[in-house]
Amino acid sequence: MNASVKAVLVSAVASGQGKTTVTAALARKLVRSGMRVRVFKTGPDFLDPMMLQQAAGMPVQSLDLWMVGPAHCRKLLAEASADTDVILIEGVMGLYDGTPSSADLARAFGVPVLAVIDASAMAQTAGALVLGLRDYGPVDLAGVIANRVGSPGHARMIRDAMRGVPLLATLARQEESLPERHLGLVQPGEIASIDILLDRIADALVLDMEAWQALPPVAFTDEHAVEPLEPLLRGKTIAVARDAAFAFLYPANLDCLRELGAELVFFSPLENQPVPAQVDAVYLPGGYPELHAQRLSQAQEWQASIRRAHAEQRPILAECGGMMALADSLIDASGHAWPMAGLLRGQVLMQKRLAALGSQGWATPQGQLRGHAFHYSRLETDVALFARTIKHPSGDAGEAIYRHGSLTASYFHAYFPSCPQAVAALFLNGAGA
């Protein structure tokens, strides 16, 4: 597979510069002009991809040299390039932050960088910032998008300071921005006027179309045939919780389960829907159970069904928010304790301080299952540790993994394609490690 397509990696000097807003605005603008646009997100993330999917109208996959791996990243890019006009990759944190960094990803696949700068409190100094971003690595710098520009005159000063680097677009300060909460952006489904907001931001993005069209295409090749996965889950049906409380789910995880041969059915604990009776296993991904604690505590049919599935020894994998919903109780930010399903002894306490953030791996008998952790709560339990993840790249101890009967629970979010065999073992008998 070998195709060339216009592609850029959208990055910045730090978080908070407006990468997601700019990427979403650019995607929406290009889609409305008739282009086929695929967007990817660098690193472990659930919320930004939801917003980018809303903007582009296509699923957003993750790219990460460690968690996803170079081979799978190459495959995803090559597949996308075969039937699209533009590939946008939103970076993570600052351009050179992390191991591996967004710059590492850009260099690995020959993708030029589009630098987003928050120009609200600078003018000519923007040139020094941009040239530093380009030369530190270095990276191939395609151009700049200046965010939070105050006026046309302000934009001209920034353009004149670029010393030959194209100013591809400007975005004025917006009265409305993409709303956020403690884990990041608010989910698009919670914003009634999300498409109107995205259209407004896209309208406000002043794109130099001539400079954009002048960007050279990038060739993505995937010459190594990937062996299909052994259908270890053939004949198995897995129930996946999916609603506003359980929405943190890599699209690649569902793809991986299907490639392993599983049939997937979806249900909503938030709507008090029970675990379907005919399924062989249950997957409870992360999300925001703390925002829906009262409804979950009153969902008696859902709670009884998950306890029944556990009593029948059907494998259950509960990640982060999924685990929180299975504790005895969840204590929200106001201190109110809400009863949960009670499969895992202990209580979950919300806190203002970030409890964990970063990439982690779980060493299983089938290989290392990679993923990440990101949460603002802690679990107080006397359940013995079954295993513990290892943080990347430090090698320090990471998240606790608990095993109670057929239940495997942890704050760890696994990226299933990193070790499909371990995932199959978890859903076959709960003994993936």
CB 63 within 8 A of CB 11: no
Is 320 known to be catalytic? yes
User: Which are the contacts of 363, defined by CB distance < 8 A and separation ≥ 6?
Assistant: 387, 390, 433
Question: Which residues are catalytically annotated?
Answer: 320
